[in-house]
Structure 1
Amino acid sequence: MTHPPRGRGPRRGQARADTAVAPPGSWRAGPEMPYAGFWAQPADAAALLGNGGVLLAGGEDGRRVPTGTSAVFAPATGLWTTARPLSSARRLHTVTRLMTGQVLVAGGIGEGPGVPGTGLASAELYDPGSGAWTPAGEMNRPRFSHSATALADGRVLVAGGCTGREADTLSTLRCAELYDPDSRRWTPVRAPMTDARFGHPAVPLSDGRVLLVGGGDGRLTPRDDAALYDPRAGTWTQEPGMAVGRVDFAALVLADGSPGAVVGPRPPPAPFVAVSPLTAITPTRSSAQVSHGPVTRCTAHGTRHTAHTERSRRERSTRSISASCATYDRPRPPGAHPTD
């Protein structure tokens, strides 16, 4: 009697995706990740690689302790593979794909709960070809809960965030800096931001400008306004914002080119997830902008917590987290062939 050949399962350090065919426009269970992690902000989780893969780097475990673990998902094989770890464990950092195909991981915080937190100034570069991490210099200010946006000219804009945390106090930043991947140098943006903010998304617009939306202000109150950065002029302008202030949510550009947002579970107490266009945010077309003189230092603002918000979240020493994930099959455009 002839037996069919025995299939080979994933090797150690790999996990396979569900191979069942899902209809377009639906979610299906994905492969289990090599490690269970938690990511408090959309920007500190993963980056899409040039070959269609996904890099997951850093984060925190169920005790809120930062990790340096990394993993890569290959959609073609449906496998997660453990990658080389970061040189520094970090959470509340940013993960940004560069035009070169490399991935920049910047900043974050290296401590868990219960100790005074200090932002990290270090940055690292991931090379998808070799799988290696190399130093990418140090930012001018340590920061976490910031944004990092790839610009059209290849540089990266890092804006806002917090530089330190002690007890119920956060020091939020009103400054930004630019990373040049060619020289691997960090340069402060001379003009200050319109306001200090953290936990905000940053959306690159089609004209090259960058829109910062919402986030937390100097009193830890969710912001509803926006700020627009022009990399050609090196200036910031205040923009009208959302109807409700939000922090720690994701924003994106819709198909028609207008900004939109995926709203997260803040402000509390009612958690919800919705997709809504930010109709109030229409970046101004006027060239009239306030000119700023040289800025020789980055401005930090002390902020106070209320007991029911961030402090209570930090004091939870453990949490139940999962290593599961899901994949989404995009719907095909009308008239497209199933194999397109």
Structure 2
Amino acid sequence: MGNQTPSKWVSRPPLLRARAALGVARVGSDIFAVGGFTDERVWPDTEARHATGDLDWHEVKKIPQARANHATAVVAGLIYAIGGIRSNDKSLDSVEVYDPVSGHWTNGPRLPERRNSASAAGLGGLLYLVGGFIPSGPDSGTTTDSVLVHDPAGNGWTALSPMPTPREKFRLVALEDHLYALGGFSADEQSMSSVERYDPARDQWSAVHDMQESRILACVVATKIGHRPVIVAVAGTEAKDGVPIGSRRTTEIYDPAMDRWSLLDVLLPKPRGSVDGTVEQEGTVVIVGGVTTPHADGSRAFVSDVDALDLEHSGAEFE
């Protein structure tokens, strides 16, 4: 792959509404963007577009409870929007489920406690919810290491072995038979580059190689380059002692066979944090929405940008 000319990020049609801290999911041949916020409010907007062909976004049924910093995952063709915050910054314990076939939202299994900034993934027909922030008062709470699983054939949530590292505003992704928790915000308010892998068959966590850069709320997807399964991490925010330092334009790729991250030369058109994304097709990652790093005066720009990168021609090299 090293002899190929690196590709660039290519602009796709933007979201109808700019927003950050949204959830993005792909079901079949369609991509969905759920919720999110701007400085004005938390939004219930749900938009959809085709993964290929006509890439313009259109509105579908709004999620009943507007939410941001929620966990989003797909199991058995259904999109789960889990927890998050509503317009008064109050955390939610509700779960809502969208069926793209019927076009309707229904209530899912309520969480044991209110939780925001967690991450979720579907694997083996089960829904996993990991980490996040559990409030204990108006201005207090805990960055958690807890792991919950829900079987759609049953009811409620079951606790599993906790992550080694409590984290919030991170990403959880399923690759082959494992889950990976990447980056995020630590309990001592630092952005993290660490990555931990969960084996559901053994209910065990282990550390794998750190990302090359720390990332809060990056776009993280699992896909393939050729026949090689990989994880891709794009953009996200760096922070120190709770203060955002800047958002990133970089992309890095994890090869589980080598336990190695490769930082690509290609850069996003603009730095973005609080983003999400998915794959348009195998080997092409798409990043959706986000927000720029706050300026000196505290202002920031929420973006509707959608950009795609063909990883087959990204310059990534595997030995």
Q: Same fold (TM over 0.5)?
A: yes
Change over 3 Å in CA distance of 1:128–1:26 after alignment to 2: same
Q: What are the superposed Cα offsets for residues 242-273 of structure 1, whole Å, 9 maximum, x if unpaired?
A: 35433222334452334442242314535431
Name the CA distance, whole Å, in 2 between partners of 1:243 and 1:204.
Answer: 20
| 1:211–1:227 Cα contact (<8 Å) kept | yes
| 1:92–1:145 Cα contact (<8 Å) kept | yes
Q: Say yes or no: does 1:83 pair with 2:56.
A: no
Name the residue aligned to 2:91: 119
Q: What letter corresponds to residue 162 of structure 1 in structure 2? A: F
Q: Does the residue aligned with 1:142 lie in a helix, a strand or coil?
A: coil
Change over 3 Å in CA distance of 1:192–1:180 after alignment to 2: same
Q: Percent identity?
A: 21
Name the residue aligned to 2:172: 202
Name the CA distance, whole Å, in 2 between partners of 1:175 and 1:319.
Answer: 32
TM-score (norm 2): 0.71
Name the residue aligned to 1:242: 211
Name the residue aligned to 1:187: 158
| Aligned counterpart in structure 2 of residue 160 of structure 1, from 131, 140, 144 | 131
Name the residue aligned to 1:230: 199
Cα distance, 1:328 vs. partner? 3.9
Q: Say yes or no: does 1:134 pair with 2:106.
A: yes
| 1:118–1:163 Cα contact (<8 Å) kept | no
Change over 3 Å in CA distance of 1:193–1:33 after alignment to 2: closer
Give the stretch that moved more between structures: 141-150 or 266-275: 266-275
Q: Does the residue aligned with 1:177 lie in a helix, a strand or coil?
A: strand
Name the residue aligned to 2:33: 56
Superposed CA RMSD in Å reads 3.2
The structure with the largest strand share of the pair is 2
Name the CA distance, whole Å, in 2 between partners of 1:281 and 1:247.
Answer: 25
Name the residue aligned to 1:173: 144
Cα distance, 1:169 vs. partner? 4.3
Q: Say yes or no: does 1:93 pair with 2:70.
A: yes
Q: Does the residue aligned with 1:137 lie in a helix, a strand or coil?
A: coil
| Aligned counterpart in structure 2 of residue 47 of structure 1, from 4, 25, 50 | 25
| 2:34–2:45 Cα contact (<8 Å) kept | yes
Name the CA distance, whole Å, in 2 between partners of 1:261 and 1:29.
Answer: 19
Name the residue aligned to 1:149: 121
Name the CA distance, whole Å, in 1 between partners of 2:68 and 2:33.
Answer: 12
Change over 3 Å in CA distance of 1:186–1:282 after alignment to 2: farther
Structure 2 gap segments, 5+ residues each: 1-6, 260-292, 314-319
Change over 3 Å in CA distance of 1:120–1:280 after alignment to 2: same
Name the CA distance, whole Å, in 1 between partners of 2:122 and 2:301.
Answer: 33
Name the residue aligned to 2:43: 67
Q: What are the superposed Cα offsets for residues 75-126 of structure 1, whole Å, 9 maximum, x if unpaired?
A: 544443322121211100122122x2111111101134xxxx4421111111
Q: What letter corresponds to residue 229 of structure 1 in structure 2? A: Y
TM-score (norm 1): 0.67
Larger Rg: 1 or 2? 1
Change over 3 Å in CA distance of 1:217–1:271 after alignment to 2: closer
Name the CA distance, whole Å, in 1 between partners of 2:298 and 2:214.
Answer: 28
| 1:162–1:172 Cα contact (<8 Å) kept | yes
Q: Does the residue aligned with 1:257 lie in a helix, a strand or coil?
A: strand
Cα distance, 1:213 vs. partner? 1.9
Q: How many residues align?
A: 264
Name the CA distance, whole Å, in 2 between partners of 1:193 and 1:79.
Answer: 39
Q: Does the residue aligned with 1:164 lie in a helix, a strand or coil?
A: strand
Name the CA distance, whole Å, in 1 between partners of 2:106 and 2:236.
Answer: 33
| 2:235–2:247 Cα contact (<8 Å) kept | no
Name the CA distance, whole Å, in 2 between partners of 1:176 and 1:58.
Answer: 23
Name the residue aligned to 1:109: 85
Name the CA distance, whole Å, in 2 between partners of 1:321 and 1:227.
Answer: 30
After TM superposition, list the pairs within 5 Å mapping 1:207-286 onto structure 2. Answer: 208-253=177-222, 255=225, 256-267=228-239, 268-278=244-254
Change over 3 Å in CA distance of 1:84–1:280 after alignment to 2: closer
| 1:226–1:238 Cα contact (<8 Å) kept | yes
Structure 1 gap segments, 5+ residues each: 1-23, 284-311, 334-340
Change over 3 Å in CA distance of 1:88–1:332 after alignment to 2: same
Q: What are the superposed Cα offsets for residues 17-41 of structure 1, whole Å, 9 maximum, x if unpaired?
A: xxxxxxx9762451x544x23123x
| 2:82–2:96 Cα contact (<8 Å) kept | yes
Name the CA distance, whole Å, in 1 between partners of 2:206 and 2:311.
Answer: 37
